[in-house]
């Protein structure tokens, strides 16, 4: 069931850094989230880079997963439990500093059970990664049977 209106503060509550230590570790910043679109920034830091100085692919995938969740939450609200079902990330070029990474997630199909969409990740003006994701809307009580 979709919420009629989900404001950005409700979305922020769902991924709050104080509740998610991994989000805090990556230093993710939600810029906006509304109507199935979310934008998130991850500052470039040496701690998240690989041996070549580029941002580690795992950090980029985590950014994609998190920003997509925020886009989904902007549609369904805090009542809907969900989990990542599939994520494919294509790396187009190295994400080198000093630019922060900015990810924009868009929900392309929001069904009752499956949510599908994409994330574009940029470093400065350059597109560095494109991901497609499927999330599964769940009901913990139902799914534990």
Q: Evaluate if residue 2 carries a pLDDT over 60.
A: no
Least confident of 18-32, 63-77, 111-125: 18-32
In the chain, what are the domains?
A: 8-143 (3.10.129.10)
Give the separation between CA 49 and CA 60, rounded to whole angstroms. 10
**DSSP per residue, 54-97:** BBPHHHHHHHHHHHHHHHHHHHH-TT-EEEEEEEEEEE-S--BT
pLDDT at 145: 44
Pairing of strands 126-138, 114-123: antiparallel
- State whether residue 117 is helix, strand or coil: strand
- For residues 7-17, give the mean pLDDT: 59
Q: Evaluate if residue 141 carries a pLDDT over 70.
A: no
- pLDDT bracket for residue 14 (50, 70, 90): low
**pLDDT tens string 30-46:** 999 999 999 999 999 99
Q: Evaluate if residue 9 carries a pLDDT over 80.
A: no
pLDDT at 130: 99
């Amino acid at each position: 069931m979709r919420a009629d209106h989900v404001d950005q503060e409700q979305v922020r509550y769902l991924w709050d850094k104080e509740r998610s230590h991994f989000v805090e570790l990556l230093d993710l910043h939600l810029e906006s989230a509304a109507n199935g679109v979310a934008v998130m920034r991850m500052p470039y830091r040496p701690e998240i880079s690989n041996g070549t100085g580029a941002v580690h692919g795992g950090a980029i995938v985590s950014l994609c997963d998190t920003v997509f969740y925020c886009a989904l939450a902007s549609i369904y609200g805090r009542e809907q439990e969900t989990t990542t079902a599939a994520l494919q990330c294509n790396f187009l070029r190295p994400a080198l500093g000093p630019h922060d990474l900015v990810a924009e997630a868009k929900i392309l199909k929001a069904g009752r059970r499956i949510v599908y969409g994409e994330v574009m990740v940029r470093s400065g003006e350059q597109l560095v990664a494109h991901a497609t994701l499927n999330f599964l809307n769940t009901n913990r009580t139902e799914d534990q049977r």
